[in-house]
Amino acid sequence: MKLEVLLLRHGQTQGNLEKRYIGKTDEPLLLDDTESMRKISALQKRLEQEGIAGSQKLFVSPMLRCRQTAELLFPGQEQVVIDKLREMDFGRFEAKNYMELSADPAYQAWIDSDGRLPFPEGEDRECFIKRTMEGFRQMTEQAWRENCGQIAAVVHGGSIMAILSCLMQDDYFAYQVPNLAGYAFQYEGAGKIQAVRRIEP
């Protein structure tokens, strides 16, 4: 059975605004930010146009920023928390930005490796993709068990890059998205994916 999947990145946080590496830091959304609220409203309209405004099953990362975004986009809908859809563990780089890390040799080495080296005291990309795909399979298997034809997941930018790059066998960074953006696609299992389209406000 084909499953319509929507993956969305959470709304903006203070750390996002300051271009920090935010993984396990449990930041809230910037709910008093007028531009963010405008984008949420615009995204709701886009989802209505796509026919995916009321997905049959709603999955979320356990992080507050994802749960808050899901409540704003899908008010009142039950949220199923998938722990494996947490953002990457940035280790020693957590909550820091480029300017703060620019003099760190470990950060320069990570940049030079195209992000393939493990984060010091954190995750490496391969392990992160494996963990995230386990979370993706957990979602899709639950949807099929419950005869759901359409699911949505409010997750992290890294989660979306991990899932799409794995399913599409493509470059990890090809699927970077800003806050409140993501992808919709049809999934048939066994890695079969089609009708991939970018979703933005």
Give 143's pLDDT tier (boundaries 50, 70, 90): very high
**pLDDT digit string, tens, across residues 58-93:** 999 999 999 999 999 999 999 999 999 999 999 999
Task: State percent of the chain over pLDDT 90.
Answer: 89
Token look-up 């009321």 returns: 54
Check residues 115 and 54 and name the one with the higher pLDDT: 115
> Is there a domain that residue 108 lies in?
no
118 within some domain? no
CATH number of 170's domain? 3.40.50.1240
Say if 75 falls within a structural domain: yes
Distance between CA 93 and CA 173 in Å, rounded? 19
Which residues constitute the domain of residue 77? 3-88+125-199
Residue 179 and residue 190 in contact, taking contact as beta carbons nearer than 8 Å: no
Query: Model pTM?
Result: 0.95
Rounded mean pLDDT, 89-102: 97
Residue 46: inside a domain: yes
Number of compact structural domains in the chain: 1
- Angstrom CA distances, 200 to 33, 50, 175, 197, stand at 18, 11, 13, 10
Instruction: Quote the pLDDT of residue 145.
Output: 96
Q: Which residue has the tokens 């990309």?
A: 125
Mind listing the pLDDT tens digit for each residue in 10-60? Answer: 999 999 999 999 999 999 999 887 888 899 999 999 999 888 877 789 999
